[in-house]
Amino acid sequence: MQWKPLAAACLLSAMAIPACASEFSVEIEIPALNVAEYHRPYVAVWIETDKGRHQQDLALWYDLALQDNEGTKWLKDLRLWWRRSGRQLEFPVDGLSGATRPVGVHQLTFKADSPQLKALPAGDYRLVVEAAREVGGREVIRLPFSWPTDAPGQISRQGKHELGRVALQLTP
């Protein structure tokens, strides 16, 4: 029963102020793993061009509360992100860094006029999600999309090891 008012509200807002409502929403599932020693994964989320060039960091989840900034010691284990972006940054980065997340589905939502998206030129891109876990493995998932979007769209992919389902929803 709940979807009806929700759908109606979306429709309404979409009709009223289309530009402002444009939204980029990422769902990242951290899977439950049956391992002897579990640590929450480090996760980096960013946008790259369809040629694979780094375009825009969106989120970084790591042990940012450890003493002496010690959690940064393992950032290099996000190997792809570290090479593309991380090694040029100084930590913590405002508006990017967050704590590691527990098992479950986590959502990141960015408006078209957010600092992350407002300067994104029109073009073809890929959303990249990379996860690396202490005493565990590493996994990268890429989801292609075009920006800006004129029709609602969703794309998702299922991770196999360190990530569960990763989904990108675009709302014009």
Partner 1 sequence: MNIKRLGACTLLALGIGVATTAQAHRAWMLPSATVLSGDNAWVTVDGAVSNSLFYFEHHPLSLERLEILSPSGEPVEAQNPARGRYRSMFDIELKEEGTYTLQMYRQGAFARYKQAGEFKRWSGPVEQLDQIPVAAEDVRVSEIDSRMQVFVTKGAPSAHNFTPTGQGIELVPITHPNDLVTGEPVRFKFLLDGQPAAGLPLVLIRDGIRYRDQVGEIELTADTNGQVEVTFTEPGMYWLEAELEQPSRLIEGAQRRLGYSATLEVLPL
In the complex, the residues that contact partner 1 under the rule CB under 8 A are 36-39, 134-139, 161
CB of 120 to partner 1, least distance (A): 29
Strand ranges for 20-137 from DSSP E? 23-30, 42-49, 54-61, 97-98, 104-111, 123-132
Beta-sheet pairing, 165-171 with 153-158: antiparallel
Nearer to partner 1, 101 or 161 (CB): 161
Beta carbon nearer to partner 1, 31 or 172: 31
For residues 34 and 51, what is the distance between their CA atoms, to the nearest angstrom? 37
Q: Which is nearer to partner 1, 7 or 32 (CB)?
A: 32
* Shortest Å, Cβ 94 to partner 1: 29
Residue 104 or residue 153: which is nearer to partner 1 going by CB? 104
Contact 172, 151 (CB under 8 A): yes
Shortest spacing between CB 28 and partner 1, in angstroms = 18
The token pair that represents 84 in the structure block: 């593309």
Task: Return the number of the residue (54 or 76) whose C-beta is nearest partner 1.
Answer: 76
Residue 36: what are its φ and ψ, rounded to 5°?
-65, -40
The encoded tokens of residue 139 equal 């996994």
Cα 110 versus chain centre, distance: 10
* Other CB atoms within 10 A of residue 169 CB: 17
| Distance, CA of 39 to CA of 129 (rounded, Å) | 18
As measured in angstroms, the least distance from the Cβ of 147 to partner 1 is 29
CB of residue 115 to partner 1, shortest distance in Å: 32
